[in-house]
Structure 1
């Protein structure tokens, strides 16, 4: 087993961070949140010679899950996550696409397995704990690798900001609870990738993020 590494492919007009997490030795990995632009994701997978084991979804918004079924067809792998509370969002992706005027290649997403708090998922010997962190979306999950001190937080937390809560199913108080009760206690040293923009560390956000004061 090698080290855990990550690549980012910005996709869709929302510039969503589709992440490719992989082991540096075996090249086994997963694609997290393929929101669209599947050709670009596949090209990045091929260029890096990644053996994709699964597709992981953090939540059911179109910019994170809109291309999941297309990528599943291309790679022949399962879609894992999010929590089943996001099933209504995943079943409505095609309508979301019409609303935003996005590509007609968007398809409603049917995960092969939903996730719950306390489960683990893994690839290439790298194990991730599943944290259910509602607020931005009811079924949002975070993937946390304790050994690497790393988390993929989706749209829960950003550098200097937090996930928006004005979308269907959003709950600002629940979002702040998710951050303060589930994420920040993991440790100031935890580095994270988020759904949009640059990543950060939990300690930096605990100290400087104006939404967490």
Structure 2
């Protein structure tokens, strides 16, 4: 929506080029990082460059490339962590082991200040996001949706031309398809989404062309 106070900078981090999003309310300059997966100084440089006062860290799900520096930043800056759904707690517990396995810098476990559920709301400045629980890629995956801006941060649920993997522990392909078709697509074809990796798209474009979850499948 033109004129919305929500501002966004997408910052790809880690060797997996995970899209961390710096979001902020232009009216208050208060903001949050969604999925701070790595390269903490690069993220903080962006925060400083934009003149944003970070007030929280938001998490879509518990995979390493999305949460690798969440615990570190929360501790360094004294920030609360909101998300994901509690069904992803086991992934957060495995974080140090995952970092070693994939050759990432050491990563610390954390306990979110607030586990999120479907229908919850989170705020950034004076801007409210709706929380949509979208299990499938992981059981506790959530999406952050801002209805006035018609913008959704979908993590690894949906990508331009693809969908999230479901071959990790407690992934479920049927749940993922249901999440996309029953909880995301009904929001409207005009919704732009920021995926966990790769370029932005719209729900309408994916309904038309996505070979995994489009209307023609």
TM-score by length of 2: 0.95
Residue 26 of structure 2: aligned partner? 24
CA distance in 1, matches of 2:202, 2:174: 22
Cα shift at 1:2: 5.7
CA distance in 1, matches of 2:45, 2:102: 26
Residue 11 of structure 1: aligned partner? 13
Cα shift at 1:142: 0.3
Q: How does 1:86-125 map to 2 (within 5 A)?
A: 86-104=88-106, 106-125=107-126
1:11-31 CA distance string (max 9 Å, x none):
111110110011123211110
Residue 38 of structure 1: aligned partner? 40
1:83-106 CA distance string (max 9 Å, x none):
0000000111001111112112x1
Of 52, 66, 81, the residue aligned with 2:68 is 66
CA distance in 2, matches of 1:109, 1:136: 21
CA distance in 1, matches of 2:55, 2:73: 12
CA distance in 2, matches of 1:61, 1:97: 10
Residue 144 of structure 2: aligned partner? 143
Cα shift at 1:5: 1.2
| Structure 2 gaps, min length 5 | none
Kept in 2: contact 1:22–1:124 (CA 8 A): yes
Residue 189 of structure 1 aligns to a residue whose secondary structure is coil
CA distance in 1, matches of 2:14, 2:111: 20
RMSD, matched Cα: 1.1
CA distance in 2, matches of 1:53, 1:183: 27
| Structure 1 gaps, min length 5 | none
Kept in 2: contact 1:72–1:78 (CA 8 A): yes
Residue 165 of structure 1: aligned partner? 166
